[in-house]
Chain A
């Protein structure tokens, strides 16, 4: 029964790879389309996604309610009262084709030396995050060490030796997806997510690491906690401490340092 209906219900509605556009478009809800690139973590691909996101937002105007980008996907929420999904798909494809055409003719912005410098500066700046890697608590450091076949010290050493890049902001306000985690630390998510993960929890899953900005549910392995806030807000503005495109490093602190920093921030 299912396979007979396959044509009619097929979610895959567009595959544009032959036009120099590297993504597919799927309907995923009554009002949402998902653009998917190759499932990989790649800076080049990520830049392409962010650029297309900006163009869709700019060129399709009030048709678009919201766009959310990640490593290899772009969710586009549109207004179904204003346009059919097929029309929106068509418009997105046209935006993408124009963009890829412009790129093949040489992108002016990339040749501007000032932009290049600003780009470099943003990438070289590295946010340092203090982490209390907790060996005593009920969290997952011991379990991660066991599953990765190394000591807890080695997990800490490897996690903090690496530089990470911010690929997406989401899940909860200020939660920035950082990649890539060293291969030796890569584990699948927990088979069932925790109902509550504490604020500041430093966690890993698959190729990613991240910090939970507020208490929330979560399915990643918690290896430590930072006293630093992951956002600041004043005058109705919301700023994430780690933004997409920034670099991040972790460094180990003791429990006493954690408590002192936490107290210092609270005052």
Chain B
């Protein structure tokens, strides 16, 4: 079968192949990785599925081979352009990069038709970070790329291992996965007919999902947090933080927001030495855990997190807030508030019911 692809012709930001991640290789030390913003990623795949009138086939227990999990191109801070070597239907979501097809501006959060030779260009977004470009069946970065341990997701720290293709750069070809190729390349007429039957909108409005102002992260408290005094808990929950420039897909580092007035900030430690000394041994860590190093500047573990960590953990930010956080830039303000485990589980269940 002929292999069709999008070729990167210019690139000034970052881009990688992402799906829902490599969830069952953490015992070997592999990062779970995956799309930073699952809302935008799943919306992109849902748009494609709706456009082509395809009913996703779900096997809830196994996250692989699911339409919702088709690998997309995650573009960070735009500034990339692709040339199509074959006709295809794509969807674009996430940070608004004022995308253009052959210099004509197109809408974000929609499907678009590309013809062979078309050029799609993404500018730097004015707000947010990550955009998603997907196609039916997903992309791979090599012609016969098989998922590595259940996923095509690329991880910066693991690129040297060579299991997930090369890091994307000018000249990289993003192949259409062969699993749905005939449909992905359906003729324009066929696709236009299908499209007329379906609304070209995601089921959940992006404007309602992303916070307009400061993001208050809902955190499930750890056992360590519950051992802290009420005063210490309150101090953590009332501290205002700013996202540090050192933040990335691996972790978001926060800094205590400098006080507005000249009143001295409390120099009392949030985590006392006796409690800190309980946490000396490295242990497995998961998505959203709030690590609390000795400098008391929290680190929130994101998609490309390591599998083990040694810093004390105050709690875990609920996943749907992590998708929101992943789109926030350094300098933005965040704070924490508590949520119960059942409430967080309910939020995530509702999220997947809409987008899976």
Give A residues with C-beta under 8 Å from B. 2-3, 5-6, 8-12, 26-32, 34, 36, 39-41, 62, 65-75, 77, 79-82, 85, 168-175, 177, 188-189, 191-193, 195, 199, 205-208, 213-217, 219, 231, 233, 236, 238, 240
Closest to B246 in A: A195
From known contacts A30-B341, A80-B348, infer whether A170 and B295 are also in contact, taking CB-CB under 8 Å: no
6 contacts between A and B (CB under 8 A): A68-B26, A72-B281, A74-B284, A170-B26, A236-B146, A240-B29
Select B316's contact among A29, A66, A240, beta carbons within 8 Å: A29
B166 part of interface (Cβ distance < 8 Å): no
Q: Return chain B residues, CB-CB under 8 Å to A205.
A: 310
Q: Are the C-beta atoms of B311 and A73 separated by less than 8 Å?
A: no
Q: Give complex CA distance A175, B26 in Å.
A: 12
Q: Quick check: is B57 within 8 A (CB to CB) of the other chain? A: no
> What is the count of residue pairs linking A and B with beta-carbon distances less than 8 angstroms?
196
Binding site for A on B (CB under 8 A): 23-31, 60-62, 146, 148, 157-158, 160-163, 220-223, 225-226, 230, 233-234, 237, 246, 250, 278-289, 293-295, 297, 306-311, 313, 316, 318-319, 338, 340-341, 344-345, 348-349, 352
Q: Is the CB of B24 within 8 A of A65?
A: yes
Q: Given A8-B340, A27-B341, A77-B23, do A68 and B348 touch, yes or no (CB 8 Å)?
A: no
Q: Is the CB of A28 within 8 A of B345?
A: no
Of the candidates B221, B313, B319, the one whose C-beta lies within 8 Å of that of A9 is B221
Q: Which residues of A contact B61 (CB under 8 A)?
A: 62, 79, 81-82
Q: Are B345 and A219 in contact (CB under 8 A)?
A: no
Q: Are B348 and A30 in contact (CB under 8 A)?
A: yes
Question: If A10-B226, A216-B306 touch, does A41 touch B281 (CB 8 Å cutoff)?
Answer: yes
- A169 and B281 in contact (CB under 8 A), knowing A2-B233, A11-B223, A30-B318? no
What separation, in Å, do the CA atoms of A216 and B296 have in the docked complex? 22
Nearest residue, chain B, Cβ from A214: B160
User: In the complex the two chains form, is B308's CB within 8 Å of A170's CB?
Assistant: yes
Does the CB pair B341–A85 fall under 8 Å?
A: yes
In angstroms, how far is the closest chain B Cβ from the Cβ of A206? 5
B157 adjacent to A214 (CB under 8 Å) = yes
Chain A residue numbers with a CB within 8 Å of B28 are: 169, 173, 238, 240
Write the chain A residue with the least CB distance to B222. A11
Task: Assess whether A11 is in contact with B221, with CB atoms less than 8 Å apart.
Answer: yes
Contact B222 A28 (CB under 8 A): yes
The reply to whether A85 and B223 form a contact with Cβ atoms under 8 Å apart is no
A residues near B289, Cβ cutoff 8 Å: 28-29
A239: min CB distance to chain B, Å: 9
- CB contacts (< 8 Å) of A12 on chain B: these are 223, 226
- Least distance between B296 CB and chain A CB atoms (Å): 9
A66-B295 in contact (CB<8A): no
Contact B29 A170 (CB under 8 A): yes
Residue in chain B with minimal CB distance to A39: B281
Task: List A contacts of B60 (CB < 8 A).
Answer: 79, 81-82
On chain A, the residues within 8 Å of B281 by CB distance are 39-41, 70-72, 206-208
Query: Nearest B residue to A57 by beta-carbon distance?
Result: B27
- What separation, in Å, do the CA atoms of A66 and B28 have in the docked complex? 11
Complex A-B, nearest 10 residue pairs according to Cβ-Cβ distance, in ascending order:
A75-B284, A170-B308, A68-B284, A173-B29, A170-B307, A191-B294, A73-B283, A171-B308, A66-B24, A81-B60
Q: How far is the CA of A12 from the CA of B226 in the complex (A)?
A: 9
State the CA gap A191–B296 with chains docked (Å).
9
The reply to whether B310 and A189 form a contact with Cβ atoms under 8 Å apart is yes
Distance, CA A172 to CA B311, complexed state (A): 16
- How many angstroms between the C-alpha atoms of A215 and B306 in the bound complex? 13
Nearest chain-B residue to A13 (Cβ)? B341
Complex Cα gap A6–B221 (Å): 10
Complex CA–CA separation, A77 to B26 (angstroms):
10
**Of the residues A65, A177, A233, contact of B282 by C-beta under 8 Å:** A177
Residues of A within 8 A of B311 (CB): 189, 219
CA A68 to CA B30, docked complex, whole Å: 11
CB distance from B215 to the nearest CB of A (A): 18
Q: Inside 8 A of B25's CB, which chain A residues have their CB?
A: 66
Contact A206–B284 (Cβ < 8 Å): no
Which of B29, B163, B349 is close to A233, meaning CB atoms less than 8 Å apart?
B163
State whether A67 touches B27 (Cβ < 8 A): yes
Q: Chain A nearest CB: distance from B341 CB in Å? A: 5
A34/B284 in contact, CB under 8 A: yes
**Which of B278, B295, B340, B352 has most A Cβ within 10 Å?**
B340
Closest CB in chain A relative to B224 CB, distance in Å: 9
Min Cβ gap B239→A in Å is: 14
How close is A213's CB to chain B, nearest CB, in angstroms?
Answer: 8
Please determine whether A28 and B316 come into contact, CB atoms closer than 8 angstroms: yes
Given contacts A71-B281, A172-B29, whether A2 and B237 have CB atoms under 8 Å apart is yes
Are B287 and A29 touching (Cβ within 8 A)? Answer: yes
User: Bound complex: CA of A31 vs CA of B60, how far in Å?
Assistant: 14
With A32-B286, A208-B282 in contact, is A170–B220 under 8 Å at CB? no
Query: Within the assembled complex, what's the spacing in Å between the Cα atoms of A12 and B224?
Result: 10
Q: Are A171 and B316 in contact (CB under 8 A)?
A: no
B59 CB, nearest partner CB in chain A, Å: 10
CB <8 Å contact, A66 and B27: yes
Say yes or no: B282 contacts A193, CB within 8 Å. no
Quick one: given A68-B26, A80-B349, A169-B27, are A75 and B295 in contact (CB under 8 Å)? no
User: CA of A28 to CA of B341 in the docked complex: distance in angstroms?
Assistant: 8
- In the bound assembly, the distance between CA atoms of A238 and B149 in angstroms comes to 10
Question: 5 more A-B contacts (CB under 8 A) besides A34-B284, A40-B281?
Answer: A65-B24, A66-B27, A75-B283, A173-B29, A214-B161
